[in-house]
Chains A and B, each alone.
Chain A
Amino acid sequence: MADTPLILTDEFKQHVRELAKFVEEGDVEETDRILDKIARLRESTLFQELGKLTREFHNALNSFRLDSRIVSMTEQDFPDARERLRYVVQMTAQSADRSLTAAEEAMPIVSNIEDQAKSLESQWGRFMQRDMSAEEFRQLSSELGGFLGELSSSSEKLKERMTEVVMAQDFQDLTGQIIERVITLVDDMERSLVDLIRISGQNMATQEVVGGEKEKTKEDHLKGVGPAVPGVDEASGLVSGQDEVDDLLSSLGF
Chain B
Amino acid sequence: MKILVVDDFSTMRRIIKNLLRDLGFNNTAEADDGLTALPMLQAGNFDLLITDWNMPGMQGIDLLKAVRADPKLAKMPVMMVTAEQKKEQIIEAAKAGVNGYIVKPFTAATLKEKLEKIFERVG
Interface residues of A (CB under 8 A from B): 93, 96-97, 100, 103-104, 107, 221-228, 237-242, 245, 248-249, 252, 254
Contacts and interface: CB of A to CB of B under 8 A. Distances in A.
Interface stretch (B24-32, B36-44, B51-59, B68-76): B51-59
Contact of B88 (A104, A107, A224, A237): A237
B60 interface: yes
B90 A224 contact: no
B103 A224 contact: no
A223 B59 contact: yes
Contacts of A245: 85, 90, 101-103
B18 A224 contact: no
Nearest to A222: B92
B45 interface: no
Given A100-B14, A100-B15, A242-B106, A225 B84 contact: yes
B83 interface: yes
Interface residues of B, number: 30
Contacts of A104: 18
A179 to B, nearest CB: 18
A224 B55 contact: yes
Given A97-B11, A103-B18, A227 B104 contact: yes
Most buried by A among B9, B14, B102, B106: B14
Interface string B78-118: 00001111111111101000000111101000100000000
Contact of B85 (A97, A228, A254): A228
Most buried by B among A240, A242, A254: A242
5 contacts: A224-B53, A224-B60, A224-B84, A228-B85, A248-B87
A224 B14 contact: no
B94 A224 contact: no
Given A224-B60, A245-B101, A239 B87 contact: yes
A252 B94 contact: yes
Contacts of A240: 85
B105 to A, nearest CB: 9
Contacts of B82: 224
Given A97-B11, A222-B92, A241-B103, 10 more contacts: A96-B14, A221-B89, A222-B61, A223-B54, A237-B86, A242-B106, A245-B85, A248-B90, A249-B101, A254-B94
Given A237-B86, A248-B90, A226 B54 contact: yes
Contacts of B18: 100, 103-104, 107
